Amino acid sequence: MRAKDKTGMLGEEIAAQYLSTQGHTILHRRWRCPRGELDLITHDGEQLVAVEVKTRRGSGFGSPLEAVTPQKLARLHRLLLEYCAAENRFQSARRVDVVAIVLSGSSVPHAGEHLVQRLEHLKDVS
Amino acid sequence: MTMGRARGVVLIGMDGHLIDVEADIGQSLPAFILLGLPDASLRESQDRIRSAAKNTGIGLPARRLTVNLLPASLPKSGSVLDLAILMSAWAADGKVQGTQDIVFLAELGLDGRLRPVRGVLPAVAAAQAAGAETVIVAEQNAQEAALVPGMDVFAASHVVQVASAFATKDSAAVLHDVPGLQHWTAAGHVSDQEQSDRRQTGASEPEVSSPAKSDELDLADVRGQHEARFALELAAAGRHHLLLIGAPGAGKTMLAERMAGILPPLDDRAAMEATAIESISAEPQAVSELRRIPPFQAPHHSASMAAMVGGGARIARPGAVTRAHQGVLFLDEAPEFPRHALDALRQPLETGQISLHRAAGSVTYPARFQLVLAANPCPCGLNVGSGTRCRCSVAQRRNYLAKLSGPLLDRIDLQIQVDRPRSAMDALGPPGETSAQVRTRVLAAREAQRQRLARWDLVTNSQASMQLLTGALRLPPRATAHMDSALDHAAISLRGYVRVLRLAWTIADIAGMNQPGADEVDAALQLRQSADRS
């Protein structure tokens, strides 16, 4: 597995832990369909939430939030509908969240060495 | 706080509008939204601002930044709001504070350097009229901004200086060791000051440039030509428009170019207007002092109408008539100008301003200029005196000066013929009076006119109406006897009669008399008719 994928997996793990402490119930990780993938699908109160997790090491290439373009956001909304169709969950309210994580440390971290420098959680982005 | 405010000014034509810049940081994905009718050039500022912020080490938050420019219905353009937008964004992010009443006028470079902008003088004047007290500009614009009396002007060369002057605790750590803003007055740079004692130094009166510089064209260079010199002096004294007709080489251009040198220096208000026009039409940072010397504009006869009266795609830019405001517009070879360009002068000659309407909006520029026209009598230029050497056909001769339309000529009080020097004594004789000597008489004559005409709210004889000249300022019949008989014989029109009266008053003012007598009226009649011979 390549380093960037490792970073991504790690970020999703950190995001899932964080969201659990915020009262989310994790329904799926890496939910896939032919048209793409959703990082996390959770339940926050009454709402069904698709969470996009963006993880970076250092901020040399700008904030991870800047990587979520309008096109990507539109795709997330579309995929959430696909999920609802597949799981027949149209009755619940939906939203898309973005979690941005900046990690410190080397690109091949040893266990416990990946310190979270910053974690930002934007709710209901559109 | 997620809201920040700062102020800026946009110019539409010469009118400055104070703009309130509001910035809001929302909890959403990074985006930059600019509201309030920005045009393409203003939209580009969002990318300049992000880079400039990043490169100063303070940065902007990775969030949705909404900037609103109030009043929202006014179309805005240009880069002059860059600094104001960045300061409001930083204020919204809590990086700076106290910016809401400050006017920021500067363009940003990607490295955060402040760059000078055009039109700072009218912008600062408009800000002051709208109640603002403090303005921050790029260093190169500081001298110009300080020309507005009573305004607190601060200058910086880099945006970090501005940020550090308004820093909150949050950003102060990043900004230590940054030089402060420089306080400017009209006399120049005063001191580097901290924000806390910014308001203590008052601005002094604006410094003025000396009325005339020695390297100017001087009237002493003109040999002979006594009648034409006298006509030039009269034109300067009474602010009469002037038409010089003469053969090539007679010295028409030479005379006209020396007109600005004998005009009185501009007073405070006129100087402010002339300098403001210079500020919006020149390169940024070209203006550093009030213009006291009347401007002199001499467009070539290939000039289009847009070049004459002003034009351009969106908001029209000032043309030659506006750049000649409070000064002289000289049209050499006047009949060679396109006829519609000449006729376009009629409205500004009448009203002293020009209104230009374009799709993006209309603007009104001041255009109170003194018109000086020079023309040959015919295409070959030799139809003077007996005219025996002239090779032009009768039709050519007739059509040539007919390019100057009647309504335009109607507005020109002084129409004289300039002959080539006819004797060696004239051409090679001692130099005539210098411009300075002539200007002394012109100044005295202007003062006499001002005192006499103040009751009717006028300044110069050229503004006197027919009602005034034949009413309250009516001359005794024996003074006007010759002219009355000329009118009786239909040798001159009633309009011509009034123009002769105006000239006669100016001749009397130059001579230091209380009112013109028969000699002055006859001299005026003579000057007026000298051009009619051809």
Listing from the earlier edge strand, what are the strands of the sheet with A116-122? A24-33, A36-44, A47-57, A93-103, A116-122
Give the helix/strand (H/E) hosting B331: strand B328-331
Q: How many C-beta atoms lie closer than 10 Å to residue B9's C-beta?
A: 26
Q: Domain spans of chain B?
A: 3-200, 219-435, 464-534
Mean pLDDT of B210-219: 61
Q: How many C-beta atoms lie closer than 10 Å to residue B191's C-beta?
A: 11
Mean pLDDT of B246-261: 87
CA-CA-CA-CA torsion sign (B516, B519, B520, B524): positive
| Res. B1 pLDDT band, cuts 50 70 90 | low
Query: Of B138, B131, B128, B124, which is closest to residue B276 (Cα–Cα)?
Result: B124
Which residues of chain A are within 8 Å of residue B27 when distances are taken between CB atoms? 122-123
Going from the C-alpha of B459 to that of each of B230, B336, B351, B419, B456, the distances in angstroms are: 21, 33, 15, 32, 9
Above pLDDT 90, what percent of chain B? Answer: 38
CA-CA-CA-CA torsion sign (B209, B215, B216, B222): positive
CATH of B219-435, one of 1.10.150.250, 3.30.2350.10, 3.40.50.300, 3.90.1150.110: 3.40.50.300
What are the phi and psi torsion angles at B461 (to 5°)? -60, -30
pLDDT, mean over chain A: 86
Hey, is B19 helix, strand or coil? Answer: strand
Query: Of B216, B234, B238, which is closest to residue B435 (Cα–Cα)?
Result: B216
Q: Which of the two residues, B136 and B534, has the higher pLDDT score?
A: B136
A98 touches chain B (CB under 8 A): yes
Rg of chain B taking only CA atoms, in angstroms: 28
Token output for A68: 């979520």
Per-residue model confidence as pLDDT tens digits over B313-324: 777 889 999 999
Give the integer Cα–Cα distance in Å for B116 and B286. 10
| Inter-chain CB proximity A62 and B62 less than 8 Å | yes
- Residue among A66, A123, A126 minimizing CB distance to B30: A66
Cβ neighbours of residue A99 closer than 8 Å, sequence gap 6 or more? A11, A15, A18, A19, A51, A52, A53, A54, A119, A120, A121, A122
Q: Are strands B134-138 and B152-156 parallel, antiparallel or unpaired?
A: parallel
Out of B59-68, B246-255, B434-443, which region has the weakest mean confidence (pLDDT)? B246-255
Out of B344-348, B381-385, B402-406, which region has the weakest mean confidence (pLDDT)? B381-385
Give the integer Cα–Cα distance in Å for B331 and B338. 12
Q: What is the pLDDT of residue B202?
A: 38
A66 touches chain B (CB under 8 A): yes
The whole-angstrom distance between residue B306's C-alpha and the CA centroid of its chain comes to 17
| pTM of the shown model | 0.81
| Inter-chain CB proximity A125 and B29 less than 8 Å | yes
B451-475 exposure pattern, b = at least 16 Cβ within 10 A, e = fewer: ebbeeeebebbbbbeeebbeeebeb
| Inter-chain CB proximity B29 and A123 less than 8 Å | no
Token output for A126: 């559109």
A63 touches chain B (CB under 8 A): yes
Torsion of CA A38, A42, A44, A50, to 10 degrees: 10
Q: How many residues does chain A have?
A: 126
Q: Which of the two residues, B422 and B383, has the higher pLDDT score?
A: B383
Q: What is the pLDDT of residue B529?
A: 66
Q: Which of the two residues, B334 and B189, has the higher pLDDT score?
A: B334
Q: Provide the shortest C-alpha distance from residue A54 to chain B (in Å).
A: 12
Token output for B508: 């009397």
Q: Provide the shortest C-alpha distance from residue B67 to chain A (in Å).
A: 19
Per-residue model confidence as pLDDT tens digits over A65-101: 888 888 999 999 999 999 999 988 888 899 999 999 9
- Residue among A63, A123, A126 minimizing CB distance to B30: A63
Query: Of B426, B373, B425, which is closest to residue B401 (Cα–Cα)?
Result: B373
A26 touches chain B (CB under 8 A): no
Which residues of chain B are within 8 Å of residue A73 when distances are taken between CB atoms? 29
- Residue in B closest to A124 by C-alpha: B28
3-state secondary structure B168-220: CHHHHCCCCCCCCEEEEECCEEEEEECHHHHHHCCCCCCCECCCCCCCCCCHH
Token output for B116: 């000078």
Token output for A71: 């096109």
Chains A and B form CB pairs within 8 A to the count of 21
| Inter-chain CB proximity B30 and A73 less than 8 Å | no
Which residues of chain A are within 8 Å of residue B62 when distances are taken between CB atoms? 62-63, 65-66, 100, 120
Instruction: Give residue B121's identity as a one-letter amino acid code.
Output: L
Q: Do the beta carbons of residue B500 and residue B528 sit within 8 Å?
A: yes
| Inter-chain CB proximity A73 and B29 less than 8 Å | yes
Q: Is the pLDDT confidence value at B43 over 80?
A: yes
Token output for A92: 């619940």
Which residues of chain B are within 8 Å of residue A98 when distances are taken between CB atoms? 29
Give the integer Cα–Cα distance in Å for B368 and B295. 11
| Res. B430 pLDDT band, cuts 50 70 90 | confident
ipTM surpassing 0.90, yes or no? no
Query: Is the CATH number of domain B3-200 3.40.50.300?
Result: no
3-state secondary structure B94-156: CCECCCCCEEEECEECCCCEEECCCCHHHHHHHHHHCCCCEEEEEHHHHHHHCCCCCCEEEEE
Instruction: Give residue B342's identity as a one-letter amino acid code.
Output: L
Which residues of chain A are within 8 Å of residue B29 when distances are taken between CB atoms? 65, 68, 73, 98, 122, 125
Which residues of chain A are within 8 Å of residue B93 when distances are taken between CB atoms? none
Give the integer Cα–Cα distance in Å for B77 and B360. 11
- Residue in B closest to A64 by C-alpha: B62
Token output for B178: 């940054």
- Residue in A closest to B54 by C-alpha: A62
Query: Is the CATH number of domain A3-122 3.30.420.40?
Result: no
Mean pLDDT of B471-487: 87
| Inter-chain CB proximity A122 and B28 less than 8 Å | yes
Q: Is the pLDDT confidence value at B196 over 50?
A: no
Mean pLDDT of A47-63: 86
| Res. B2 pLDDT band, cuts 50 70 90 | confident
Peptide linkage before B71 cis (omega within 30 of 0): yes
